[in-house]
Amino acid sequence: MEPRAPLKTPADRKNGKHVKANDILPQGVYLPNNNIMAPYMKSPEYVQLSTAAAITLGIMGGRMHRCGCTRCLNLLLTYPEGCRANCAYCGLARHREADRDYADRNFIRVDWPAVPMADIIDIVASDPDNSPFHRMCISMITHPRSEDDTFAVLKQWTDKIDPEAIPVSILSNPTTMTRDDVQKTKDLGADIFTVALDAATPELFDTTRGKGVQSPHKWSKYWDIMLEARDIFGPQKFGAHIIVGMGETEHEVLQLVQDIVELGGHSHMFCFFPEQGSLMDHLPATPRDQWRRVQLARYLIDYRDVRVDQMKFDEFGRVLDYGIPEAELADIVNDGTAFRTSGCPGKFQDDISACDRPYGDSPPSDIASFPFQPVKKDIKKIRKQLKIPVEVE
């Protein structure tokens, strides 16, 4: 699972130079592939939001396969020069400035249109108690203005919308953050603080988002900030994003899940998808049997008090036994919650994520993370993918 090397960016496209050479004001909603230079379209006035959130808000038309709406308003800071990191699996990585303006790139699998923050707040603030959103999340990217603009976006939100009605999560960029920054997000009303660790081991982290791809991130800094968040936000209010299938073993990723649980946090999982244009677009998506085993085991560790050392693994680190009786395992598989998208909780129950990210890690034809409750036909498919003889009633 080696990323390819980034190509050299021509000087006239570095750091969004050719976009910033224009003098065009942004107007309303900007859809990726509009291909309009938008040098002033930046946070905190503008943010990007997931296509699912834009459809749910009514800003964009469209329908999502088997989903009425998304429960999480996912926002992303935006700048004409884009993210300054170079993560190998990410559609927003810096090397892509060679062939695509930042505003026209997608994240992973889905487009993120750019919208004035004030417009979003106006829509949600009109009736927060009856909003479809159970949570809002601000994703920071790697940029020198990222902290200040996160504070500004968060403040704009909490000034008008009670965070008790719609709690806020921060998906942080530890590389440029200090403990005081983490504290400030809490003081401004954030509820949960997460770090996008993404890679499951220090070596993979370095290869996919550190010096292996000329990117600035360091595993140790991500852990430092996660531990600050644990201290400041407290148990169950911090966690890490982890991508499964970038070269780690199932045992390695599940040990990481266990370590985070022991600290008092949660892990939010993504199935690796080879995003076109990324430095890993030549690599295979995570095989479904591997993904399902990790999804199920992670659910048991995170929500059913099963420990990784109760489980059994083969010589390749694959899960052989989940450490609980077969009948109990069958009930959990048949319930289906373990296979839903994982993330910060919404208003239904603790183990159902508000952040359902429809089709953010797979196509609808071969769903990895279910953005809805799997039904009987889905469970049948999951059971086949798991390759374990669990009967559906």
Rounded-to-integer distance, Cα 48 and Cα 133, Å: 16
The answer to whether 153 contacts ligand SF4 (rule: CB under 6 A) is no
> Which window, 19-27, 40-48, 85-93, 288-296, contacts ligand SF4 (CB under 6 A)?
85-93
Quote the least distance from Cβ 142 to ligand SF4, whole Å: 4
> Which window, 62-70, 88-96, 126-134, 328-336, contacts ligand SF4 (CB under 6 A)?
88-96
Comparison of 274 and 336: residue with beta carbon closer to ligand SF4: 274
Angle at 235 between CA 189 and CA 75, to 5 degrees: 40
Spatial CB neighbours of 130, under 8 Å, sequence gap ≥ 6: none
Contact present, 102 and 43 (Cβ < 8 Å): no
The answer to whether 78 contacts ligand SF4 (rule: CB under 6 A) is no
The answer to whether 279 contacts ligand SF4 (rule: CB under 6 A) is no
Tokens representing 196 are: 């996008």
The answer to whether 280 contacts ligand SF4 (rule: CB under 6 A) is no
Among 31, 52, 57, 92, binds ligand SF4 (CB under 6 A): 92
DSSP 291: H
The answer to whether 137 contacts ligand SF4 (rule: CB under 6 A) is no
Quote the least distance from Cβ 90 to ligand SF4, whole Å: 3
The answer to whether 83 contacts ligand SF4 (rule: CB under 6 A) is yes
The answer to whether 200 contacts ligand SF4 (rule: CB under 6 A) is no
Among 93, 161, 170, 301, binds ligand SF4 (CB under 6 A): 93
The answer to whether 207 contacts ligand SF4 (rule: CB under 6 A) is no
> Which window, 64-72, 90-98, 156-164, 298-306, contacts ligand SF4 (CB under 6 A)?
90-98
Among 19, 53, 57, 90, binds ligand SF4 (CB under 6 A): 90
Contact present, 79 and 105 (Cβ < 8 Å): no
Quote the least distance from Cβ 197 to ligand SF4, whole Å: 11
Nearest to 346 by CA among 193, 137, 119, 58: 137
Rounded-to-integer distance, Cα 376 and Cα 337, Å: 12
Comparison of 112 and 157: residue with beta carbon closer to ligand SF4: 112
How many residues make contact with ligand SF4 (CB under 6 A)? Answer: 9
> Which window, 31-39, 80-88, 149-157, 373-381, contacts ligand SF4 (CB under 6 A)?
80-88
Spatial CB neighbours of 371, under 8 Å, sequence gap ≥ 6: 52, 64, 66, 67, 70, 340, 341, 356, 357, 358, 359
> Which window, 87-95, 222-230, 255-263, 342-350, contacts ligand SF4 (CB under 6 A)?
87-95
Query: Between β-strands 312-313 and 72-77, what pairing exists: parallel, antiparallel or unpaired?
Result: unpaired
Comparison of 209 and 230: residue with beta carbon closer to ligand SF4: 209
3-state helix, strand, coil in the chain (%, to 5): 40, 15, 50
> Which window, 84-92, 234-242, 302-310, 332-340, contacts ligand SF4 (CB under 6 A)?
84-92
Comparison of 198 and 356: residue with beta carbon closer to ligand SF4: 198
The answer to whether 142 contacts ligand SF4 (rule: CB under 6 A) is yes
| Amino acid in the structure at residue 244 | V
Comparison of 93 and 296: residue with beta carbon closer to ligand SF4: 93
Among 55, 141, 246, 271, binds ligand SF4 (CB under 6 A): 141
**Strand-by-strand arrangement of the 168-172 sheet:** 114-116, 46-49, 72-77, 135-139, 168-172, 192-198, 238-244, 266-271
Quote the least distance from Cβ 208 to ligand SF4, whole Å: 9
The answer to whether 225 contacts ligand SF4 (rule: CB under 6 A) is no
Query: Could you give phi then psi for residue 238, rounded to 5 degrees?
Result: -145, 165
| Amino acid in the structure at residue 376 | K
Instruction: Tell me the three-class secondary structure of 187-229, residue by residue.
Output: HCCCCEEEEEEECCCHHHHHHHHCHHHCCCCCHHHHHHHHHHH
Query: Could you give phi then psi for residue 174, rounded to 5 degrees?
Result: -55, -30
- Name the site residues for ligand SF4 (rule: CB under 6 A): 83, 85, 87, 90, 92-93, 141-142, 209
